[in-house]
Amino acid sequence: PIVVLDFGSQYTQIIARKLRESGVYSEIVPYSESIEDIMARTPKGLILSGGPASVYATDSYHPDSTIFDLGLPILGICYGMQLIAQHFGGSVVPASSHEYGKAKLEFIDENEIFKDTPNGQTVWMSHGDRVESIPSGFEKIAISENSPFAAIADTSKNIYAFQFHPEVYHSEYGTKLLKNFAKYICGCESTWNMGSFAKEQIDRVKKQVGNKKVLCAVSGGVDSSVVATLLFEAIGNQVIPVFVDNGLLRANERDQVETIFRSRGIDLITVDASEKFLSKLAGITDPETKRKIIGETFIEVFDTEAKKHSGVEFLAQGTLYTDVIESVSVKGPSKTIKSHHNVGGLPDWMKFELVEPLREIFKDEVRELGLELGLPRNMINRHPFPGPGLAIRVMGDVNKPDLDLLRKADIILLDVLHSTGYYEKTWQAFTVLLNVKSVGVMGDNRTYDNTVCVRIVDATDGMTATFAHIPHEILETISRRIINEVDGINRVVYDISSKPPATIEWE
C-alpha cells in the first residue's frame, strides 16, 4: 500500500480515501508509528499529511527520521512539506499572513507527477508557515502567485512536496496528482477495489487464525454482520457467531437478525442474557455507569460462551477506522465523552487476541464491502444502533416496563420513516424516553404521562451530525401516531440539537 503518516490534519482521512477510490490501496498510521511497523505494511511509498503544528515549535510532531533514509518515494503535503524542507536543510518561516483559498498552479517543470493535468489548474492552499528556501538537491517544480515553492522535488530521491492540499475537493486535479504519485513515482498499479480488499482480508484472517476458533460477536448492525460474513468466507465453521439478547434490543430485533443470518446458512448462537443485564442495571441512573456495566456484562457473557467451546483464542470485532482515530490521533490526549464499549480492547484477564478486519476503513466502505460479500441491501442500509442499546435511550433507571414503552414508540417512528422514504435519507433515527411527565387532556380526561423525544440526524460518519430537517407533516404523523397508539405517552418533542455541542445519543 501507500502508507499515510497522520500529523493531525483534518484532511488526512481523505488522502487515503482518494487513493483507494483511484484503485490504490492506502492505510493511515499515526505519525509516531515505529519504522518496523511501517515497514511491516510493505509500503511502496509514504505520504506525510498536513497538520496543525509548526515544524519549528518545540512541541512539533516529528516522525522517526529514518523514514527519509529508506529509499522509499515520499510525498509531503503542507506540514509534510515543511518537515521535508527542514529535514534536508531548507528553511521554514511563519507566513506574514495565512494563505487560505484557491490558487493557480504554474508548472516550472514537466514533471511526471503532473502528467495529464493542465498547467494553471486550481489548487487549494491552507497554511500558516511556508518554505522560504529549499534544501540542496531539490528544485521547484511549480509556483503560485503567493507561493514561490508551491511544489518541490528531489527526483533523484523520489521525494516530492506540495504546499497545497491535493486531497481536498477544491483542488481540481488533486485526486489525479495523488494517483500520479502512486502510479509513476511509487510504481503502484491501480487494481485495488473492494473485491480485492475482501480477498486480502480473508487471507489475512486465515493466516492470523490458523486452525483455532474465533468468537464473533454479532449485534445485527452493519459492521458486525460484515465481519461475521467475511469470517465465514475465510474460515467457515471455525467461527462461533454469538448474538447476545441483552434485553435492551428494539422490538423484533432478535427475530430479524436470526432470520437474516439463517437465510445465509449461518446458525447464530443466541444467548438470552436479558435478565442478567436488567438485574445489573436496576437502580442505576448514571450514564457512564450504565455503559460500564453493559460493557462488562457483554465480556462476561462472551467469556462464558467461549469456555463452552475448545480452542477459542480469538474475538472478532467490527471496529472501524473512525473508532480508532480518536485514540491514535495526534490531537493530544482526548477526553472521554462516552465510553463506546467496543473500543479500547479487552480486560487483561481475557486472553483473546482481536480480529478486526475493518480497522482501516470507513462506514460507507464497510457498506460497499458488505454488498461485495453478498449481504442484502436492507441489512447494509440499517441505521447504526449503539452497543448499550435502549439502556442509553431510557433516561434514568432502566426497567422492563419503560423499555417496552420505548419499543412501542420506536417502532412507530421507524414505520413512518420507512413508508415516507426518510429512513434511507437519514443517518439515524430513534426515540428517547425522557424521565419527564407532563399534563395532557385526552377526551374529557386529564392525563399525566410520559414524554418521548424523537431524534433524527444527518451525518456522514457520526463524528458530527445535524438534526434532520424532516417535513412538519411527517413529524406530525409521528407525533399523532405515538400519542394515539402508545398508552402511557401523551407528549412528543423533536430534538433540534446538532453534534457538537450535543451528541447523537442522549447518554
To ligand XMP, the closest distance from the beta carbon of 427 in angstroms equals: 7
Rounded Cα distance, 329 and 167, in Å: 19
In the set 165, 172, 188, 360, the catalytic residue is: 165
- Asked if 340 is an active-site residue, the reply is no
CB of 85 or CB of 395, closer to ligand XMP: 395
Q: What sections of 111-249 are H helices per DSSP?
A: 174-180, 194-209, 222-235
Cis? peptide before 386, omega within 30° of 0:
no
Annotated binding residue at 129?
no
To ligand XMP, the closest distance from the beta carbon of 52 in angstroms equals: 23
Cα 185 from chain centre: 30
Cell of 385: 444502533
Cell of 384: 447504526
CB of 433 or CB of 504, closer to ligand XMP: 504
To ligand XMP, the closest distance from the beta carbon of 155 in angstroms equals: 45
Cell of 275: 435478565
Cell of 367: 457498506
Cell of 127: 497554511
Tell me phi and psi for residue 257, to 5 degrees. -65, -45
CB of 155 or CB of 426, closer to ligand XMP: 426
Annotated binding residue at 461?
no
Please name the helix (run of DSSP H) or strand (run of DSSP E) that holds residue 126, with its range, or none. strand 122-133
Closest CA to 318 of 358, 366, 364, 261: 358
CA separation, residue 5 to residues 28, 91, 270, 299, 501 (Å): 6, 22, 41, 33, 29
Tell me phi and psi for residue 427, to 5 degrees. -80, -40
CB of 137 or CB of 384, closer to ligand XMP: 384
How many CB atoms are located within 10 Å of the residue 12 CB?
Answer: 25
To ligand XMP, the closest distance from the beta carbon of 342 in angstroms equals: 5
Annotated binding residue at 366?
no
How many CB atoms are located within 10 Å of the residue 173 CB?
Answer: 18
Which amino acid is residue 149, in one-letter code?
F
CB of 214 or CB of 504, closer to ligand XMP: 504
In the set 78, 188, 216, 453, the catalytic residue is: 78
Adjacent-strand bridge partners of 291: none
CB of 9 or CB of 317, closer to ligand XMP: 317
- Asked if 372 is an active-site residue, the reply is no
To ligand XMP, the closest distance from the beta carbon of 449 in angstroms equals: 26
CB of 23 or CB of 384, closer to ligand XMP: 384
Q: What is the DSSP letter of 166?
A: T
Cell of 44: 511502496
Annotated binding residue at 210?
no
To ligand XMP, the closest distance from the beta carbon of 223 in angstroms equals: 8
Annotated binding residue at 224?
yes
In the set 167, 172, 253, 372, the catalytic residue is: 167
Annotated binding residue at 222?
yes
Annotated binding residue at 225?
yes
To ligand XMP, the closest distance from the beta carbon of 323 in angstroms equals: 8
- Asked if 453 is an active-site residue, the reply is no
Q: Which residues bind ligand XMP (CB under 6 A)?
A: 338, 340-342, 384, 386-388, 428, 462, 499, 503-505
Please name the helix (run of DSSP H) or strand (run of DSSP E) that holds residue 259, with its range, or none. helix 253-263
Cell of 447: 392525563
Catalytic residue numbers, as ranges = 78, 165, 167
Residue stretches of the annotated binding site for ATP: 219-225
